[in-house]
Chain A
Amino acid sequence: MTPYLPADLTVTVHSVEPYSLYLAIAGELDYTTTAQFTYEVNEALDSHRAQQGPVLKDLHLDWSSLTGIDSSALTALLLLHRRAHPEGITLHLHRQPAQMTRILELTGVAGYLTQDAPTVHPPGDSTPDEPTETDVTS
């Protein structure tokens, strides 16, 4: 008999480019894992910023390995949006399951989540007074 295992979530960094970051989310995104999702995605953003400077423009999330989702995923995505947009990062959702599409459409936030972020850092604009190595907390 298979022992019961709690639903699990993994966030994997697929590829890192100066202006784009690709993350793949696998497992369950539900009430028990949203905090972990938020933490890991923020970590990935912080680390990108630490390595590349505040130049990220596009965050791509690949959901093809997502096995389950509930409505609390919405909280996680809105929180992510709340952080990303002021930093000029646009969210892109790829291959999301039907249930996620349904939740986003039902709540009327689908377009809002993926709308273009305002331009904060034009490409090539590196501000010398902002030491990118340590600025990981914002």
Chain B
Amino acid sequence: MTSTTTPHPLHELSERLWAAAIDRDEPAAMRLVTAAADAGVDAEALLLDVVAGVQHRIGVEWAADRISVAAEHAASAITDRVLAALAHHQNPHPLHLRTRGRVTVACVEGEWHVLPARLLAEVLTHRGWHVDFLGGHTPTPHLVAHVHQTNPTAVLLSASLPTRLPTAHNAISALQSIGVSVMAGGAAFGADGRYARLLRADAWAPDAREAAARLDQGLTQHHAGRRQQIDDDLPHLTDQEYTLVVTRRTALVKQSLAALDARWPAMRTYSTAQRERTAEDIAHIVDFLAVALYVDDAELFTGFTTWTAGILHARHVPAAGLHLGLEVLAGQLRDFPRTLTFLKTATEALQAGSHHTGPGITA
């Protein structure tokens, strides 16, 4: 997906599209891709190597603090629109040619990173599937109603942020219990799809091409009713640590703020907005801690923490605050042995100074 794997002619195109996106020059971006499409560049390569590649680069550049958050949003918006326009421009498969059956593509509720799902929808449409694309942030009840009404062969569920995993789990089991197979995809499920397996998705794919290939092989039809209870999937949840951390989220944030106030003099000079940022950061840490507890994987939390440290490092923010944040949280969660182990592992990784590639918010 990155420029290193892009063949030369597409590399050139990728560079120009990147420049147009960063320049917020939507018309130029549109002209570039349509000209390429008209010149016969393979549609899938255009989607997956060029557009997705540029989107990936936007995420990387933002993480490295080489572009601002505003630039990141604007550029992402442009790649998104380029993609939508490209789909319209090409659209080689009218309804009657959609011979491969019907599938539903959607983002998990709360997931707003639509691009990976949209790319997948386009690739599948291009390959002759009848795709119902429900877009970002699809509430599970809508998804279930849609499946009742359209009877798709499979639902392809996308999630980018790991904090969406509990919701994804709920969606997967709800869909399976009405007899439809679910393929999971997106960075949230882990680079090796480990969380897709954990949450008992029927299939997992690392990217759109692989997803299309897996669909071609055919997913095993799910036997409704054979689906276990959702809590049977994750026996470690019986220790209640996940539930308690989630229900205490607000209190944890408030108490951590108070503890930071007491222990970190710099906090006292913060403006209201800065304090709110700090509160949000703590809330974010709690969210990742909770989801790590949910999937019982310390590595998920450590990955998030070291990735955050990398982001802070790129912005010349000392990681001391992060260290202290973990310490303060540990102080409040003394009765939670699993949680404490996770916090300890993450703290040790921070001290070792390893930087993680990130929890995967980039396309």
A positions within 8 Å CB-CB of B: 1-2
Contacts and interface: CB of A to CB of B under 8 A. Distances in A.
Contacts of A1: 248, 251
Contacts of B251: 1-2
3 contacts: A1-B248, A1-B251, A2-B251
A3 to B, nearest CB: 10
A2 B251 CA distance: 8
Nearest to B244: A1
A1 B335 CA distance: 14
A2 B247 CA distance: 11
A13 to B, nearest CB: 35
Interface residues of B, number: 2
Contacts of B248: 1
A2 B250 CA distance: 10
A119 to B, nearest CB: 50
A1 B251 CA distance: 7
Contacts of A2: 251
A2 B254 CA distance: 12
Nearest to A2: B251
B282 to A, nearest CB: 16
A2 B248 CA distance: 9
Nearest to A1: B251
Nearest to B252: A1
Interface in B214-254: 248, 251
B218 to A, nearest CB: 47
B246 to A, nearest CB: 13
Q: Which 3 A-B pairs have the closest CB atoms?
A: A1-B251, A1-B248, A2-B251
Interface string B168-187: 00000000000000000000
A104 to B, nearest CB: 27
A1 B248 CA distance: 8
A12 to B, nearest CB: 30
A68 to B, nearest CB: 16
Interface in B309-341: none
Interface string B272-290: 0000000000000000000
B339 to A, nearest CB: 15
B250 to A, nearest CB: 9
A93 B185 CA distance: 56
A38 to B, nearest CB: 31
B223 to A, nearest CB: 40
A1 B247 CA distance: 10
B37 to A, nearest CB: 48
A2 to B, nearest CB: 7
